[in-house]
Structure 1
Amino acid sequence: MPAESPPSRVMSARQWAMLVLLALVWGGSFFFNAVAVTELPPLTVVAVRVAVAALALQIVLVARGQRSPVGSSVLAAFLVMGVLNNAIPFTLIVWGQTHIASGLAAILNATTPLFAVLVAHLFTRDERMTPLRLVGVVVGFVGVVAMIGPAALSGLGESVAAQLACLAAAVSYAVAGVYGRRFARLGVAPMATAAGMLAASATLLVPLALLVDRPFALPPPSLATVASLAGVALVSTAFAYILYFRLLATAGATNLLLVTFLVPVSAILLGVLVLGESLAPKHLVGMALIGLGLAAIDGRLPRAMTRSWMHFR
């Protein structure tokens, strides 16, 4: 069994490119969810999402001549990861979006790196908290708030349960990021890890959705809803989790979960490029702060500035 290589602190250009791509495909999930929940209950949307994604990845594994790993330790890890990274946060976020504005939900979701820094510090040896990393996370979070707009915070104090649900989802994502590091140690490939985790999630969520929502008794969904379910399952889940586990194995949980800072950026840029929306000054300010925070967390830019300062002294 291969030994687990320690995640890198400073991400390479390839890892940054994968992180940006992950932000793009995850940014689309908020749109897909918003369309789907207009006709289907939140739990049904989540169940269809993980079931279709799990089936798609299993088909890809078979086509590539690969097999899903078996063994009690691996299957148990799939189940725990499915609960922490899919069942709990997906359900909480989709339910939360039915009670609070998507901008506020995105801000609450962007607290994930704050929790990730703390969880990784407590439970790992190679992702310890540093003052620079903590400052970078705070600056990045401020950038998310600035970019989406302080008006999104006007909903604070209303629908408290929905806000707490989104925060609980962020905590669950953070814990999952640290827990998921074990798959590299177990020698499970990223695609097989994603397929196993999603299969475990579907095993839990599909029977629950059938029991609670009774979707078979609902009117047939429209073509737009079906297309949104396909998009969120195949693009924002199946493909996204292949990227997720590749990054987790090489860049670490704290670096990986910085993606929640980039998701609002990708959503706004997609709106500008695809829908012709305007780019406001607050968006540029927010993106600049997020970039500054990411640079601080990565550590490369501060070290380069320090070397330059020492050189010119």
Structure 2
Amino acid sequence: MRRWVPFFILLAAIWGNSFFFIKVAVGSLHPLQISFGRMAIASVTLLVVLFASGRRLPRDPKLWGHFALASTVLTTLPFTLFGYGEQHVSSVVASIWNATTPLCTLVFALLLRSERATAARITGLGVGFAGVMVVLGVWEPVSGGELTGSLACFAAAACYGVGGAYLGRFITHRGEEPIVLATTQILAGTVELAVITPLAGVPLVNLDVPGEVWGSLLALGALGTGIAYLLLYRVQRIAGVTTTSTVTYLLPVFATVSGVTILDERLTWHQPVGAVVVLVGIAVIQGAIPLRRRAARPVAAVAAE
């Protein structure tokens, strides 16, 4: 077994089950409280790792400015949107919407001209977004709440797409250690939420919640946001960015196991089918499914060998 595989599977399990923990917490907490709680816990986790490794936070104000923007679309908005979304849709459906992130990333990379438009990419986008329509079940009547929840989760995935394109354009090439970048991003997002949450009329902390909600926040912060980042960068160093990006495809698997077996959630037939169509579109974009087959070799040439 390749040495990155256990870390890869563990990362997928942690992120896949994050949707389960959000579903547990959203029954007692406002989505902004969930976002702030997980970010604050993640900040403490990453700061401990950062200082234990002998590294320090960056002093470049320009880098902090970039992260103020990046953290908005990579943490503050998507974490909160998934919280709002899971008030109306299941944790499994939320994880399926999250799997559209590579499609959204490519769209914004094309808009920023950091990626070139090719036939495979355009075709893959078309197939992928057709899958989105299948997941949504556009031919069936959809309740307002379910539609709102699905759109919130899709918007969260789109935020990840914007953030991924922004990181690639302005941040990741700078050469700082991954733990430094991760900690800076999470700290910036924590400060944003510490300001936004009270302004929205929501208390930062609600102490009157069941123990399982506190456990979910701890899991979301320490594992789903803190430790997960460390696993992410470890796999990236060993296996590369392309291989690491495929972790998104496994998240619905783990989310389905926890959602169906523990939360007793139900799926309609078109949701997993649409998820498969989305993954086919992503595979076309990444070249795993070629658009053209190699031409057959001439008979004469074969006979001459």
TM-score by length of 1: 0.74
Choose the corresponding residue for 2:217, options 226, 229, 240. 229
Shift of 1:207: 3.9
Which residue of structure 2 aligns with residue 7 of structure 1?
none
- 8 Å CA contact 2:19–2:94 kept in 1: the answer is no
Shift of 1:164: 3.9
Choose the corresponding residue for 1:97, options 86, 95, 104. 86
Choose the corresponding residue for 1:185, options 173, 196, 199. 173
Question: Quick one: distance in 2 between partners of 1:195 and 1:281?
Answer: 40
Question: Quick one: distance in 2 between partners of 1:302 and 1:295?
Answer: 9
Q: Would you say 1:166 and 2:156 are equivalent positions?
A: no
> Number of aligned pairs?
295
Shift of 1:95: 1.5
- 8 Å CA contact 1:15–1:251 kept in 2: the answer is no
CA deviations on 1:41-64 (whole Å, 9 max, x unpaired) are 211111010111011011001111
- 8 Å CA contact 1:103–1:152 kept in 2: the answer is no
Shift of 1:77: 1.6
With 199-208 and 58-67 compared, the bigger mean Cα shift is at: 199-208
Larger Rg: 2
SS at match of 2:45: helix
CA deviations on 1:54-113 (whole Å, 9 max, x unpaired) are 110110011111112221111112211111101111112211221344455444444433
SS at match of 2:171: helix
Question: Quick one: distance in 2 between partners of 1:168 and 1:248?
Answer: 26
SS at match of 1:73: helix
Q: Would you say 1:49 and 2:38 are equivalent positions?
A: yes
Question: Quick one: distance in 1 between partners of 2:265 and 2:26?
Answer: 24
Query: Are residues 23 and 153 of structure 1, via their aligned partners in 2, closer, same or farther at CA, if it must alter by over 3 Å?
Result: farther
- 8 Å CA contact 2:39–2:189 kept in 1: the answer is yes
SS at match of 1:180: helix
- 8 Å CA contact 1:44–1:213 kept in 2: the answer is yes
Question: Quick one: distance in 1 between partners of 2:5 and 2:130?
Answer: 21
Residues 66-215 of structure 1 mapped to structure 2, 5 A cutoff:
66-125=55-114, 127-139=115-127, 150=137, 155=142, 157-158=144-145, 161-181=148-168, 182-210=170-198, 212-215=201-204
Query: Are residues 179 and 247 of structure 1, via their aligned partners in 2, closer, same or farther at CA, if it must alter by over 3 Å?
Result: farther
Q: Would you say 1:242 and 2:230 are equivalent positions?
A: yes
Question: Quick one: distance in 1 between partners of 2:192 and 2:293?
Answer: 51
Query: Are residues 175 and 277 of structure 1, via their aligned partners in 2, closer, same or farther at CA, if it must alter by over 3 Å?
Result: closer
How much identity, in percent, do the aligned residues show? Answer: 33
Shift of 1:119: 0.9
TM-score by length of 2: 0.76
Amino acid paired to 2:40: A
SS at match of 1:155: coil
Question: Quick one: distance in 2 between partners of 1:75 and 1:311?
Answer: 60
Shift of 1:198: 0.4
